[in-house]
């Protein structure tokens, strides 16, 4: 990733979202914006996927406060058995870190 995950200073958006996924298992665009101020989670998820981190879309359908039908996605970190050994090793290193701002 771009930032230094060990110092927790100047962490990249990708590092922060990966830490969140490891700690909480999933994240939505709304939650990402509220917790971290990132406005376009799909681009962060796309970057993580390019690094061979398996993240699945969990679609939801419902109504907004105006009664309009809406669709949103929770991004879920796939189980370790679906991840590559390199990704599993990275996840293990990340587990002890704290999510900055979350």
| Sequence spans of domains, the chain | 13-94
- The structure's pTM equals 0.80
Q: What is the DSSP string of the chain?
A: --S-TTT-SS--HHHHHHHHHHHHSEEEHHHHHHHH--S-HHHHHHHHHHTT--EEEEEEEEE-TTS-EEEEEEEEEPPGGGS-HHHHHHHHHHTTSPPTT-
Express each pLDDT in 31-77 by its tens digit: 999 999 999 999 999 999 999 999 999 999 999 999 999 999 999 99
- In CATH, the architecture of 13-94 is Orthogonal Bundle (1.10)
């Amino acid at each position: 990733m771009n930032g230094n995950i060990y110092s927790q200073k100047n962490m990249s958006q990708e590092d922060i979202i990966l830490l969140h996924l490891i700690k909480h298992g999933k994240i939505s665009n709304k939650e990402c914006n509220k917790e971290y101020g990132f406005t376009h989670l799909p681009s962060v998820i796309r970057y993580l996927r390019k690094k061979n981190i398996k993240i699945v879309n969990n679609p939801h359908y419902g109504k907004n406060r105006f009664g309009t039908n809406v669709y949103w996605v929770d991004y879920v970190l796939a189980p370790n058995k679906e991840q590559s050994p390199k990704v599993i090793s990275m996840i293990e290193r990340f587990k002890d870190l704290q999510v900055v701002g979350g």
